Amino acid sequence: MMDSPFNSRGRTWPRHAPGIDPGAKPLVRFDAVTKRFGGLAAVERLTLDIFDNEFIALLGPSGCGKSTLLRMLAGFEQPDEGRILLDGADIAGVPPHRRPVNMMFQSYALFPHMTVGGNVAFGLKQEDVPKAEIDGRVRDILKLVQLEGFDQRKPHQLSGGQRQRVALARALVKRPRVLLLDEPLSALDRKLREETRFELMELQHRIGLTFIMVTHDQDEAMAMSDRIGVMHQGRLVQVAPPAQIYERPNSRWVAGFVGDVNLIECQLVESGPTGSALECAGVGRLSIAQSVDAPPGSALCVALRPEKVDVASLPPDAADGSHFAGRVLDIGYLGDLSIYRIQLESGFVLKASAANRSRLAAARIARGDSVFVSWSSDAGVVLTQ
Amino acid sequence: MRRGLSVFNVTALALGLAFLYLPIVILVIYSFNASRLVTVWGGWSTRWYLALLSDNAMLEAAWISVRIAFLSATAATVLGTLAAVALVRGGRFRGRVVFSGLVYAPLVMPEIITGLALLLLFVAVDVERGFWTVTLAHATLTMCFVTVVVQSRLLSFDMSLEEAARDLGCPPLKAFFTVTLPLIFPAVAAGWMLAFTLSLDDLVIASFTTGPGSVTLPMRIYSEVRMGVKPEINAVSTIMIALVAIGVIVAAVVTKRGAIVRERATGDR
C-alpha cells in the first residue's frame, strides 16, 4: 500500500476513476440529490459519478444515508430534489421492476417457498426469456458462484455463505448494468466474510460489472473497492481510492472514522512549497512535508496514524521528522500488533502501534518505561477541516 | 425450572377443564344414548345419528349453514386480507386509526347489536332477507377475525422479499401474488377456517338477518330445543362440535407449521 499509495490494488484492467480518465462518461450520476424523511434530510444535495466497471463502496455509520442512496437507485425511494441518471438518462419515473439495476439485499431476501433454481430463474421468467435459455443461464450462473447441483435445494437447507451466493446469482443472472450490494457480508461470520470478500472481488473482475456496495465496515470497503465514498449525515465527505482515504483524509471526520488516528490541534507557523512548520500546544513544534494553503496563525489539525509512530527505548538519530520523549501508559497486546498509549512530556497522550515481528517484541517495552517516539516528516497529514 | 405438578396445580387444572368441557362431554356421551329419554342412560347406540339422516329439515338446515359458512368465509378472507395489507403496508394514510378501529369494532360489538343494525340496514334498503343477507352479515362479522390473523403474520413479514421480487422485474401486484401471498397463505387459510367456524355456529346474527325459507342449523336446533330436547339434537350437536374442533385444530396447525418453516428459513443467521 505504501509503494503506490494512490493506485489501489494495482489493477490492470481499464478503470475510469476521475483523474485517470477525465473524458469518461459516468454510468450512474447522482446530481444534487436530496431525500427527506419527515422533514429530516437523509441525503442532502449529494453529487456523485460512478463509472463503468467500477467497484465503489459507500461507507458511513448507520443513518448516514448510504442505504437510502442505494434504494433510490434501485427505485424503492424517489428523490425529493435532484436527478439520478443512468447511462445519461433520467430514471425518475422508471419503477423498480423496469430498471436495469439489481440489488443484493442485506437479508438476501431469498424466496423461502422456491428452490435455489426457482429463485435464480425468477428474474428471467419476468422478462419472458425462453425456457431453454433460462435453464442454461441459471446453470451457468450457479456454476459461477460454485453452487452446481444445488438448484433443487430450498433456501433453508443452505448455509449462510451458500445463501449469500444464491442471492448474488439471482441478481447477476439478470445481467444488470449495475449491481447494488447492501451490506453484502454482514450476515456472515468473520472467517467466511474475509474469504467472501476475495470471491466477490474476483467475480467482479471476471464479469466486468459495476458494483455499488453499501457498508459500515471500513475494512470491507478498504479491501474490496476501487473507490470509497465516505458519507456523513447525508453528505459525501470524501470520494477517493482507499489508500487516499486512509493516507490523505480531507477532514478530521474522515481521518477519525477510517482507521485509528492521533489528531493533534496546531497553529500554522509558516508554510513553504515543500513543507510547513506547526506549533502544537500539547506536543511541540512539528515539521510536515506538506504545503498548506492557509495564512500563518490558522488553527489546523495534524492527523497521525499510530502505525507511523516509532517507539524506541533510545533517542532516534534521524534528523528528519519529529521526536519526543514520553512514558508508556499502557500497552494493548493484540497478537499481531501492540497498541501503545504514550504520554509525552507535555502531557499529550499519543497512540502508537507496532507489529510484533519478533516473538519477544512485546516484552521489550513495558508499561511505565521511558521511551522516545518519532515519525518522519511525511507521516502526518495537515487537515484544514 | 421444575415447577412440577403439585396437588394444587392438578386440582386447579382438573376443575378448570371440567368447568369448560364437562357439559360438552355429557352431551357427546348422551348423543350415543340408546334411550328415548334424554336424561336416562339406556346403553350405547348410534340410532340418533341414523335418525338424523332421515330428518330432512335438519339436513337442509345443515346444508344451508355449510354453504353460508363457505361463501361468507371466502368473502371475509378476501376483504380481511386486503384490510390487513392496508393496515400494515399503508403507512400513515389519513384515517388509519379510524379505519383500524372500524375493522376491529365487530370483535367487541355485542352480536345482538350487530344483528339488529344489519336487520335495520336490510330493511332500509329493502332487500329480500334470506340466504344472501345472512351470508353478507356473516362476512361482515368474521372479516375482522381474518384481519387480526393476517395482520399479525404480515407484521413479521420481511418486506425485502417483495422488494426483491420487484427488483427482479416483477410488477407490484404480481409480486404480491407470487411472493407475499404464498408466504402468508397459512395465516390466510387459518383466517378462513376461523371465519368458517364462526359462521357455522352463529345463531344471533343469523336469526336477525334471515328470512323465511333460509333456516340455518343453529336456528333449527334452537327451535327444536324449545319444544323439548330430543336425542337427535345431541347427535347433531356432537357433529357440529367435531366440525368446529377440526376447523380450529387445522387452523392452529397450519399457522404453527408456517411459523416453524419460517423459523427454519431464517433460523441459523
pLDDT on residue A22? 60
What mean pLDDT value characterizes chain A?
A: 84
β-bridge pairing A276-280 and A322-333: unpaired
Does A141 map to a domain?
Answer: no
Give the model confidence (pLDDT) of A336-361 as tens digits. 888 999 998 888 888 999 888 777 65
Do residues A56 and A191 both lie within one domain? yes
- The whole-number average pLDDT for the span A238-261 is 90
Do residues A234 and A346 both lie within one domain? no
With an 8 Å Cβ cutoff, are B168 and A113 in contact? no
With an 8 Å Cβ cutoff, are B160 and A109 in contact? yes
Least confident of A122-126, B35-39, B79-83, B113-117: B35-39
Do residues A325 and A245 both lie within one domain? no
Q: Inform me whether the pLDDT recorded for B24 exceeds 50.
A: yes
Do residues A186 and A322 both lie within one domain? no
DSSP A281-330: TTTEEEEESS---S-TT-EEEEEE-GGG-EEESS----SSSEEEEEEEEE
Find the residue in B nearest to A176 (Cα): B168
With an 8 Å Cβ cutoff, are B169 and A97 in contact? yes
CB B230 within 8 A of CB B37: no
Task: Answer with the residue of higher pLDDT: B36 or A233.
Answer: A233
- The whole-number average pLDDT for the span B240-253 is 83
Confidence of residue B73 (pLDDT cuts 50, 70, 90): very high
Confidence of residue A362 (pLDDT cuts 50, 70, 90): low
Option in B166, B168, B269 nearest A174 (CB):
B168
pLDDT on residue A18? 46
As for how many domains chain A has, the answer is 2
- The whole-number average pLDDT for the span A171-199 is 86
- The whole-number average pLDDT for the span A279-303 is 82
With an 8 Å Cβ cutoff, are A113 and B264 in contact? no
Distance CA(A322)–CA(A339), nearest Å, equals 20
Confidence of residue A84 (pLDDT cuts 50, 70, 90): very high
Q: Name chain A contacts of B179, Cβ cutoff 8 Å.
A: 111
* Residue B147 φ/ψ region, left for φ over 0, alpha for ψ in the -120 to 50 degree band, beta for the rest: alpha
Of A254, A287, A306, which residue is a domain's last?
Answer: A254
Of A217, A239, A254, which residue is a domain's last?
Answer: A254
ipTM of this complex: 0.78
Does A168 map to a domain?
Answer: no
Do residues A248 and A308 both lie within one domain? no
Q: Inform me whether the pLDDT recorded for A180 exceeds 90.
A: yes
Do residues A270 and A342 both lie within one domain? yes
With an 8 Å Cβ cutoff, are A126 and B166 in contact? no
Q: Name chain A contacts of B165, Cβ cutoff 8 Å.
A: 111, 122
Size of interface A-B (CB pairs under 8 A): 75
What mean pLDDT value characterizes chain B?
A: 85
Superfamily for domain range B55-266: MetI-like (1.10.3720.10)
Do residues A230 and A340 both lie within one domain? no
Option in B165, B175, B183 nearest A112 (CB):
B183
Sign for the pseudo-dihedral over CA of A324, A326, A329, A332: positive
Of A254, A287, A312, which residue is a domain's last?
Answer: A254
pLDDT on residue B133? 92
Sign for the pseudo-dihedral over CA of B27, B29, B33, B39: negative
Does A115 map to a domain?
Answer: no
CA nearest to A290, candidates A307, A299, A282, A302: A302
Does A162 map to a domain?
Answer: no
Task: Answer with the residue of higher pLDDT: A364 or B32.
Answer: B32
Q: Inform me whether the pLDDT recorded for A292 exceeds 90.
A: no
Does A114 map to a domain?
Answer: no
With an 8 Å Cβ cutoff, are A112 and B166 in contact? no
Across chain A, the runs of DSSP E, i.e. the strands, are: 28-37, 40-50, 55-59, 81-86, 89-90, 101-104, 178-182, 210-215, 227-232, 235-240, 262-271, 276-280, 284-288, 299-304, 310-312, 322-333, 337-344, 349-355, 370-375, 381-383
Interface with chain B: mutation pick from A91, A98, A107, A185, highest number of B CBs within 10 Å: A107
Residue span of the structural domain in which A60 resides: 8-100+176-254
- The whole-number average pLDDT for the span A94-102 is 90
Give the model confidence (pLDDT) of B158-201 as tens digits. 888 999 999 998 998 999 999 999 989 888 988 998 899 889 88
Task: Answer with the residue of higher pLDDT: B165 or B253.
Answer: B165
Q: Inform me whether the pLDDT recorded for A60 exceeds 50.
A: yes
With an 8 Å Cβ cutoff, are B160 and A123 in contact? no
- The whole-number average pLDDT for the span B238-256 is 83
Distance CA(B244)–CA(B222), nearest Å, equals 18
Q: Inform me whether the pLDDT recorded for A228 exceeds 60.
A: yes
**Where exactly are the structural domains of chain B?**
55-266
Option in B168, B175, B182 nearest A113 (CB):
B182
Interface with chain A: mutation pick from B89, B159, B168, highest number of A CBs within 10 Å: B168
Does A79 map to a domain?
Answer: yes
Confidence of residue B2 (pLDDT cuts 50, 70, 90): low
Option in B183, B264, B268 nearest A113 (CB):
B183
Do residues A198 and A79 both lie within one domain? yes
Do residues A299 and A314 both lie within one domain? yes
Do residues A333 and A216 both lie within one domain? no
Confidence of residue A11 (pLDDT cuts 50, 70, 90): very low
Q: Name chain B contacts of A123, Cβ cutoff 8 Å.
A: 168-169
Residues ≥6 apart with Cβ < 8 Å to A101: A73, A74, A75, A86, A176, A177, A178, A179, A180
Give the model confidence (pLDDT) of A107-131 as tens digits. 899 998 899 999 999 999 988 889 9
Q: Inform me whether the pLDDT recorded for A62 exceeds 90.
A: no
Q: Which residues pair with A266 in a beta bridge?
A: A280, A300
Shortest Cα distance, chain B CAs vs residue A149, angstroms: 20
Option in B160, B182, B183 nearest A107 (CB):
B160
Q: Quick one: cell of B182?
A: 404464498
Q: Name chain A contacts of B163, Cβ cutoff 8 Å.
A: 76, 96, 103, 105, 109
A interface residues, B as partner, C-beta within 8 Å: 74-76, 95-98, 102-103, 105-107, 109-113, 122-123, 126-127, 154-156, 159-160, 170-171, 174, 187
Q: Look up the CATH number of the domain holding residue A288.
A: 2.40.50.100
pLDDT on residue B223? 87
Find the residue in B nearest to A123 (Cα): B168
Q: Inform me whether the pLDDT recorded for B79 exceeds 90.
A: yes
Q: Which residues pair with A382 in a beta bridge?
A: A302
Q: Is B179 on the interface with A (CB under 8 A)?
A: yes
Do residues A244 and A376 both lie within one domain? no
With an 8 Å Cβ cutoff, are A127 and B166 in contact? no
Does A148 map to a domain?
Answer: no
pLDDT on residue B167? 92
Q: Look up the CATH number of the domain holding residue A77.
A: 3.40.50.300
With an 8 Å Cβ cutoff, are A111 and B170 in contact? no
Least confident of A81-95, A360-374, B4-18, B69-83: A360-374
Shortest Cα distance, chain B CAs vs residue A170, angstroms: 8
Do residues A275 and A247 both lie within one domain? no
Environment class of residue B177 by beta-carbon count within 10 Å: exposed (0-12), middle (13-18) or buried (19+)?
A: exposed
With an 8 Å Cβ cutoff, are B163 and A96 in contact? yes
Confidence of residue A8 (pLDDT cuts 50, 70, 90): very low
pLDDT on residue B62? 87
With an 8 Å Cβ cutoff, are B179 and A111 in contact? yes
With an 8 Å Cβ cutoff, are A97 and B171 in contact? yes
Q: Name chain B contacts of A127, Cβ cutoff 8 Å.
A: 169
Query: What part of B 119-178 touches A (C-beta under 8 Å)?
Result: 158, 160-161, 163-172, 175
Option in A105, A122, A156 nearest B264 (CB):
A156
Q: Inform me whether the pLDDT recorded for A2 exceeds 50.
A: no
